[in-house]
A and B are shown apart, each in its own frame.
Chain A
């Protein structure tokens, strides 16, 4: 007879999930609680003097015109970044899916930008478009466009959108390509026999079958545009000119790390956290219904 080892019922599962829960608590929940607590304080940077001010940090944010304006700007920026990078990468993935010779080389080259750190990506784009030194700015000038992202807010916005989107293309490309390759060849072949051209095949077969991937990437890109673009913005425009590229997350960084206003910065990150939670919820509730798995 084999001896049976008895565990008290229910302990083992808890033990097994404990590491995961612990990591979540330490690295996600605890900082979030800290941020929430800090958002109620007005505090000297060294932490030697502080006052509990209830919702004053939030109140002064919502009284600030600059802060309210940056909401609209952030949405515009995020939609543009997500749209542009997903559009371009879907296009590239569609092409790469059809390539037979040297596919690996194409794929490698397209994936490259993902390895570039945001700040460096930003520096590259700044250099290309610098009104004095940049090659692209020079070409634009030849084409009759007076390019100066230091003064012109619209141009600055276009530049940070391009830089941020470019950075994300590689990631989206990988997922789209994997999605496309998972589509059974027999379906597209059948459509081809029925006389459907490549575009028609793409829009009636491939794209609908890609919706789970598209939805996933839409969420990921939204989060990317909201949270991870401050490195690019810091390198390219630092939120300027005249706040034209100052999106919510950059202001959190600017006020917290540069300005050392921890309370105000914490309040902003709490708002941002709520916003993204709400957005994700909306996406899952309403957009996911249209996804065909």
Chain B
């Protein structure tokens, strides 16, 4: 059996501000995998993902997306990538449909493909009653859903999500989780940061624990339990144990 190709390969990724935010990080996410990146506040999760998405230039290291050098051929890498931040980035004066039309235009998607896909996404996220309203009156959860629909409308193969469930109510969170699960089943790759460990535990194929800019543990939940020597621990217990060790070491 052929090993699964890497959707994302990060080698020696480094970013320093007044201290190292990301410290020679190595990370591999396989194609078709749902990968959750967890870690305490300030661990370097968002900085890592921003560098992968091409929003931040690393000080050192390499990023490869489906074999494309994301630092050298950024446009080609961005063509197959989507980024959604925890702070929804949409325009107040556009309607959700207009926003999706703009995103589809940026990614060069033909209108005949983009329009039905935009409708399908907005409907599946429960935004049907608001299709033609300007986003200025939307709640944070609604904005998050519009941003997510925008990320998916150009059919990316790698979806990078930074805290995608923040601000969503239970029903909206279920909509989003359903949509993300569907994407993974269709062969897309998702890498997501989250503080909600239960989500990582239930949805992710593999979990990476990051602390002080370094990957301190990685694997399926079972593998993490094995690495920690206990089969009964929850992800929360494992997370606290791993992060405590890292803090003590620092």
Q: Do A and B bind each other?
A: no
Name A's B-contacting residues (CB within 8 A): none
